């Protein structure tokens, strides 16, 4: 499905103001490779994509250094300068999303987390991973479920968060 365009300009600006060119970035839930397209060669980028059809349809192997066809819950890594969770957490149970974020906390300098608020969504194009399991997210619930983050962009229905410290 891909992520929303809302706030992307602000997010890219924040990335370029906070990271030097040439670092390593993990794009979780790469879908169509939108973040790779937006950032170009600013980072050396790897991707995790759960839906195998996206890997082939969007030719992700041509866009990223490495593409891991895996559920992020099971993907183990050592370290990235930046980890992007672009429209990912709402597709997971609260417990799984919290575990994924907690695992990432000490394995990166920072995270960019994009989430929609109060957004119901079912399976799309046969992809069951498109279902929103956290369709109830609001700014207040995000802060409760994922403490230690601050918004760098927020609208009434969408936000980008980064580590607060």
Domains of the chain (ranges plus CATH)?
Answer: 8-163 (3.40.50.150)
Q: Is the pLDDT of residue 3 over 90?
A: no
Q: Is the pLDDT of residue 128 over 70?
A: no
Query: pLDDT-based confidence at 1, cuts 50/70/90?
Result: very low
Give the pTM: 0.93
Q: Identify the pLDDT of residue 126.
A: 77
What is the C-alpha separation between 104 and 124, in angstroms, rounded?
28
Q: pLDDT by residue (tens digit) across 26-80?
A: 999 999 999 999 999 999 999 999 989 999 999 999 999 999 999 999 999 999 9
Q: pLDDT by residue (tens digit) across 86-126?
A: 999 988 999 999 999 999 999 999 999 999 987 677 678 77
Write the CB contacts of 64 (distance below 8 Å, at least 6 apart in sequence): 27, 30, 33, 36, 45, 46, 47
The count of C-alpha atoms lying within 13 angstroms of the C-alpha of 139, restricted to the half-sphere facing its C-beta, is 12
């Amino acid at each position: 499905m891909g992520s929303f365009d809302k706030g992307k300009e602000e997010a890219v600006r924040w990335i370029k103001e906070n990271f030097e060119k040439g670092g390593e970035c993990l794009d979780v839930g790469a879908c169509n490779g939108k973040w790779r397209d937006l950032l170009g060669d600013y980072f050396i980028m790897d991707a995790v994509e759960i839906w195998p059809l996206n890997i082939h349809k969007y030719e992700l192997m041509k866009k990223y250094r490495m593409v891991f066809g895996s559920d992020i819950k099971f993907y183990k890594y050592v370290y990235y300068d930046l980890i992007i969770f672009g429209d990912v957490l709402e597709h997971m149970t609260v417990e799984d999303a919290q575990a994924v974020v907690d695992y990432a906390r000490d394995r990166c300098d920072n995270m960019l987390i994009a989430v929609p608020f109060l957004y119901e969504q079912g399976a799309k194009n046969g992809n069951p991973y498109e279902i929103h399991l956290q369709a109830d997210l609001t700014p207040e619930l995000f802060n409760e479920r994922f403490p230690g983050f601050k918004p760098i962009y927020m609208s009434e229905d969408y936000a980008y968060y980064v580590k607060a410290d």
